[in-house]
Structures are given as structure tokens and as C-alpha cells.
Amino acid sequence: MYVTTRERSILQRLLDGRNKTTIQTLADELGVSTRTIQRDLKGVEDVLTEYHLTLERKAGTGLAVQGEAEAREQLRRFLSSLRHEEYTPEERRLLLLTVLLQHREPIKLFALASHLNVTVATVSHDLTKVGKWLEDFRLTLVRKRGYGVEIKGEERDVRRAIGALINENLNEAHVYRAIVSRISEREEATDPVSERLLHLMDLEMLRDVQRAVESLRKQFSEHVADSSYFALIVHVALAIDRIRQGKKVEMAPEYLQKLAMHKEYHLASQLAHALERMFGIDIPDEEIGYMSMYLRGAKLREERDDVLEESNLQLAVRVKQLIDGVEDELQTAFHDESLFKGLLSHLKPALYRVRQGMKIYNPLLEKIKADNPDLFHIVRKQAQRALDSGTIPDEEIGFLVMHFGSAIERRKRQSAVKALVICSSGIGSSKLLMSRLQKEFPEIRTIENASLFDVEKKNVDNYDLVISTVPLKHVADYFLVTPFLWKKEVNQIRDFLESYQPKQPVSPRDPDQRQTTEHLLERFEQMASVNEDIVSILTHFQVKELEENVSLEDGLNDICRDFERSGLLSGANSVVEGLLAREQAGGVAIPETSLALFHVRTEEIEKPCVSMCELKVPALRKGMDGMRVPVKRALVLLAPLSMSEQRLSLMSSISALLIKSEAHTTVFEKGSETEIRALLAESCQNYVRNLINQGVDDA
């Protein structure tokens, strides 16, 4: 079947389905008239018919392809397999960028024109747009008669441009296939532009880098989103390739020294040493610094609620302000712990990326804006107000809207069906898809999220339903959907569930049942440790009222010595030093309250401890927003350096109480020791209840 280049472009845009596609938008994107598009649609419909698909035309909403997800995927594969001597304007610009970014010497215009099978005038016109794209990366396109064309700029910016080119035009599935497959083993053809983009990197080296990163993955986080995981692999592979070419980045010594203070720098150093052995190269400290920046900016695919970790409480204050602002504008109250935790987990790396000027990619942005214009406006306004991070790009606002959108849609229901969801784009997309599933299918009791790399380790037979936003190579029966879950996709899943009989529980002799029993035993042991911590915390909690001439530092010292006498810690002086050092690093006073939170984790602390001291006269202390705040009461949280995730999460939930609601804040500011202990007990009880429910769901 012959398909013209323009028909292929129209079909690919329609199948993508991310934006509202009208005849006018197609004409604008392809640089032709609407009449030309109208003529091309006849050929487009002929191709769709071959794949049992139809073209739906709706006034006001535009064009859409209707049909089975598998048929859509088959057509995508067919379009990717086509080889054309002509390219669309956008494809030409992408190919020009790949050629220019790869070459270190000027290239003649006629050579570029010959490569693309177009005229010199066409290439010259394309280069004007290429130059504008490069300006966003502080790069200059040099064009001189008799000299040729080349890109000039700092090495760091060249790498940013290459990384952006790859990330904007290759999704996680492309990179995943390149990593796990040999070229000769590929079952699916790749379009020529994607093929060229992949070859911006040495594919063998890319696979080696993935193995090195995977060996350290558990140390930096098993919960990094596929998109960030692949971005890190691509960044490292590009860095090694450029180092081999003698291209090195520069970084101010004082900034490098600041980066070296973070745990991500230590992990980046480990990765660098492994890569040095693997490739026989020397990796400079500046390269390690950039690797650590990518680690710090990595998105998570699961929410983590460790409020005690580094500066999370400062961020938690801002997240609470963001939620409050959106609630006020929407005239609704979320009362959604998952929304708070999801935003907290997402925003720490996200705001780091914003502050560092790192490029943010959100392929769903236009769809989010079109579907949620009012919510987008509200979230953008409240995020700029609450997060205090300068101008936050719309791409990031889009991710925040997905969190709020999923909270609005979320309905907690239980059912007998167990589903596995593979979503590679991070927490926002994953939670949006899962909340849509919960809304549309109350019979789905358990929804488990996994990454592309997790799928191979899963026994999919243990799930009633497998749903993925990316094609799966080794799974026979699954539903390929979008994070927004279109009506057609809902109907397909509904048809399946209406005739489906959920899997019955396995017999006690089944290995999976033994595994479940072992899992429950592990959960009971974890709960025993948590319960022991709770008893200790509530038993030793006190509100220590300080005399008028006693400083806050002295009060902290008294509290730590009390805990030392009770056998909860050793070396009270070291613990106090740690508390004060944390204050200097980030501030402890909570804005718009009379409270401060002092917390630290050290080797001297043997059991979790919580206490509070009250000053006779408020003292000015450094706030989490950098301003001086009058503090009347200080909550002290001490935790061992080595703790299980469940025990640490308990302490995080206690610290989060300070800002959970105005009522909770008031209790900590003005309540008696008995009232605060009662609030702590209630919080601990809720935590244990959730832990039990989580154990049941996991079983």
C-alpha cells in the first residue's frame, strides 16, 4: 500500500491523539492549505479502512481515529516501517539537528541538501528555524558563505540540546527497545528519524551504561520513573561519548563543592567509578556533578512520604499552601492524604529541575490545557504563589494539574478484580490512570503500578487485568491505553470485565500462597517494630516548660539528656549539635506559626523520640522560608540513622501533623501536654490502621 509523506504525517498526528486535531491545525503544522488537507483525508480514510479503523469528524472538536487499540498499534508499526525519500519539514529539521550536533566541523549547505534530497534554498529556510530552536539552549548556528554551517556554544549547552532532541522525539519505549534488543533482533522497524536520533548515541555503550546504572538503582531509588531513569542513562551515555571526543564540561568550584554535600553526589561518584572501569576512561569531578544533578532531579513513579528527609518539611509547608489555595478557589476540600504525599514526592525533584533550568518535558500538556482550562489556570496561579520558585513552566504546571485532577476523580472503591498498570511517565500520569480506572471500574479491588523493567519480574498470571500506556513485547494479553483512558478504551475494558470471572484464591499448598504467608509474616514483624516505637514515643513524650532565662539551645540540651538517661540515645551533645546544624542548613521555624521543628537522624539515637519545649518569651529563629520567626514552642523529633521504611514513615507522619490543618497546628501551639499526646496517639493509631490495610491489599 502506497502512503504519501503527508498522509503518513496526518495519520501519525491523528494516532498520537494528544492534541485537539482540526483540519486547520494539520494545515498549519504541515505548511499547506486546508483544501490540500481535505484532499489528503480521502487517502487517509482508505488507509484506516485497511486496518478496520474509521475517521470521526466532529464539529468543534476536530478529527479522531476510532477503533481497537491493537489495530491502532498495528497501523503505527506499519507507518514506522515505511521508508521515504522525502521528509516532512519537521523531519528535515530534526535530521538537520542530528547531523549538525554530531559533527565537529562545518558542513557545506549543498551536502546537507543532498543528504535530505531537497534544494539548497529549502535547507536554508529550515536552518532558520533550527537556529531559533538552538537559541533556547544558548547555542548559535554559524552560517558563512564558503565556510559552511556549524553549531557554536558551551559543551554543557550542546549536551542539553542533544538530550532535549532525544527526549522530545523518542519516548521511553524507543529507548527501552534499544537497550534490551540487539539491532539484528529487532522485530519492529523504526522510522528513519527515530533511527537517526537513536544513533546520536552508541547503542552498545547505551546498554553498558544501563547495566552500570541498574547495579546502583536500589541505592538511589527503586521508585524512579522510567522517563527519569532513561533520561539519566541517556545523559550518562552522552557524557561518556563526549568525554571520548575530548569534550568536557565546566562547573564553578563553589557550586561543585555545594553539590558534593548531597547524597546524590556520593551515588554519582560510585557510578562514575564503575563507568571508569567499564570504559577505561577518567571522569572529571565536573561530570560527576552533572550526574548528581540528574539524580536529584529524577521523578518518582511512586509517592514517598518521608517528611523528615532533608528539606521535605519546608516543602510540605508549601504543598499545604498550594492545596489550600486550590481548595479555596474550587470551593471544595480534598481531605486526600494521597494528594499531599503525591505532590510532596513529585515537587522535590521537580522544583530542583526548575531552579537549575533543566528542560522539562510534558507530552500531554496541550491535552491537559484543553481538557482542564479552569483547573490549569487555578493551579498555575496558586503554584506561583505558594512554591516561591520563580516562574514555573507550563510543562510543570501540567503535571501538578494531573495530581489535582486525579484527586478530584478519585473514588475509593473495593472489588474482586486485581489489575497491573504499567505507566512509564511518573507519578502524575500513573495516578491519573489509576484514578480513572477506580472511577470507571469499581469492581477492580487492587491496582498495582509497575515500570517497564518491573514487568519482566512480575508473574502477570497473578493479575486479572494488565493495562499499559506503552507497548509490551513479552505480555500476550493486555490493554494498550492512554493515561486519560478514552471512552473507547473504557468500553473495551468494560466488555472484557463483564464476561470475565476473577481468579480464585490459590490453595494453601500453592507456592504463591506460601509467598503470601511469608509476606504477611514480614508485615507482622514490621508492625511489631512500629508498635514498639509508638509505645516508646507516647511514654516519653513531654512538654518541657523552660524558665525565663533558659535559651532554646539549653532546652534542646535538657530534652536530649532526659532521653539519654532513659536509654533512648547516647552522646546527647552530638545529637544537640546535629539539631542546631540542621537549623543552620535550612531553618526550622514554620512560617505563620509560633512553632519550630527540630529533627535529626544520627548514629547516637537508638530509638525514636518525640518531645517539646516551651519558652517563656518567644525567640527569633531562622524560618523555613529564610525569614526570622518568633518561636514559642519547638517540637523535637529524633530518629536512628538506620530505620525501616515503615518506622521512618511513622516519624514523617508525626512531623507532618504540624501543618496538616489549622486545628492540628493550634493544638501544637496552645494545647496541653495531654492534648498533644492524645493527638499523637490518634495519628499513630491511624498510621497503624493504614499499615494493616496496606498489608491486606498487598497480600
Q: What is the pLDDT of residue 171?
A: 61
Asked if 624 contacts 586 with a C-beta cutoff of 8 angstroms, the reply is yes
Q: What is the pLDDT of residue 223?
A: 54
Q: pLDDT band for position 560 (50/70/90)?
A: very high
Asked if 415 contacts 441 with a C-beta cutoff of 8 angstroms, the reply is yes
* Burial annotation 256-288 (CB, 10 A radius, 16+ → b, else e): beebbeeebbbbbbbbbebbeeebeeebebbbb
74 has pLDDT over 60:
yes
Q: Taking residues 105-119, what's their average pLDDT?
A: 82
Q: Report the C-alpha gap between 427 and 301 in whole angstroms.
A: 4
* Phi/psi at 212 (5° precision): -65, -45
Q: What is the pLDDT of residue 537?
A: 92
Q: Report the C-alpha gap between 326 and 323 in whole angstroms.
A: 5
Mean pLDDT of the chain: 79
Which residue type does 421 have?
V
285 has pLDDT over 70:
yes
Among residues 355, 352, 239, 348, the alpha carbon closest in space to that of 290 is found at 239
Q: Taking residues 65-87, what's their average pLDDT?
A: 80
Among residues 632, 640, 642, 637, the alpha carbon closest in space to that of 594 is found at 632
How many other CB atoms are found less than 10 A from the CB of residue 146?
Answer: 6
Q: Report the C-alpha gap between 4 and 12 in whole angstroms.
A: 12
Give all domains of the chain, ordered by start, each with its CATH number.
5-81 (1.10.10.10), 89-296 (no CATH), 319-408 (1.10.1790.10), 417-498 (3.40.50.2300), 521-698 (3.40.930.10)
189 has pLDDT over 50:
no
Q: Report the C-alpha gap between 324 and 318 in whole angstroms.
A: 10
Q: pLDDT band for position 330 (50/70/90)?
A: confident
Q: Taking residues 53-78, what's their average pLDDT?
A: 85
642 has pLDDT over 90:
no
Q: pLDDT band for position 48 (50/70/90)?
A: very high
514 has pLDDT over 50:
no
% of the chain residues with pLDDT over 90: 17
Q: What is the pLDDT of residue 698?
A: 43
The DSSP bridge partners found for residue 465 are: 419
Q: Taking residues 552-559, what's their average pLDDT?
A: 93
Q: Taking residues 487-513, what's their average pLDDT?
A: 65
Is the pTM higher than 0.75? The answer reads no
Q: Where is pLDDT greater, at 337 or 611?
A: 611
Q: What is the pLDDT of residue 303?
A: 46
Measured CA distances, 262 to 109, 265, 359 (Å): 47, 6, 22
Q: C-alpha cell of 687?
A: 498510621
483 has pLDDT over 80:
no
Question: How far is C-alpha 665 from the chain's CA centre?
Answer: 30
* Residue 353, H or E segment: helix 337-355
313 has pLDDT over 50:
yes
Q: Report the C-alpha gap between 210 and 232 in whole angstroms.
A: 9
Q: pLDDT band for position 252 (50/70/90)?
A: confident
- pLDDT one-digit tens code per residue, 598-611: 988 888 999 999 99
CA 18, 22, 24, 30 dihedral sign is positive
% of the chain residues with pLDDT over 70: 80
Measured CA angle at 90 (ends 87, 94), to 5 deg: 90
Measured CA distances, 243 to 234, 256, 463, 475 (Å): 14, 19, 46, 39
Q: What is the pLDDT of residue 554?
A: 92
Asked if 615 contacts 558 with a C-beta cutoff of 8 angstroms, the reply is no
Strand stretches in 117-254, DSSP E: 140-144, 148-152
How many other CB atoms are found less than 10 A from the CB of residue 346?
Answer: 24
Question: How far is C-alpha 223 from the chain's CA centre?
Answer: 9
For 461-499, the DSSP string reads GG-SEEEESS--SS-SS-EE--TT--HHHHHHHHHHHHT
302 has pLDDT over 50:
no
Q: What is the pLDDT of residue 695?
A: 52
Q: What is the pLDDT of residue 569?
A: 92
Q: Report the C-alpha gap between 387 and 392 in whole angstroms.
A: 9
Q: What is the pLDDT of residue 262?
A: 77
- pLDDT one-digit tens code per residue, 425-455: 555 566 778 878 887 887 787 888 887 777 7
Largest CA distance in the chain: 89
Q: Where is pLDDT greater, at 410 or 686?
A: 686
568 has pLDDT over 90:
yes
Asked if 256 contacts 311 with a C-beta cutoff of 8 angstroms, the reply is no
Q: Taking residues 131-151, what's their average pLDDT?
A: 88
**Cell numbers 550536533: residue:** 101
**Cell numbers 552522552: residue:** 238
Q: Taking residues 19-42, what's their average pLDDT?
A: 79
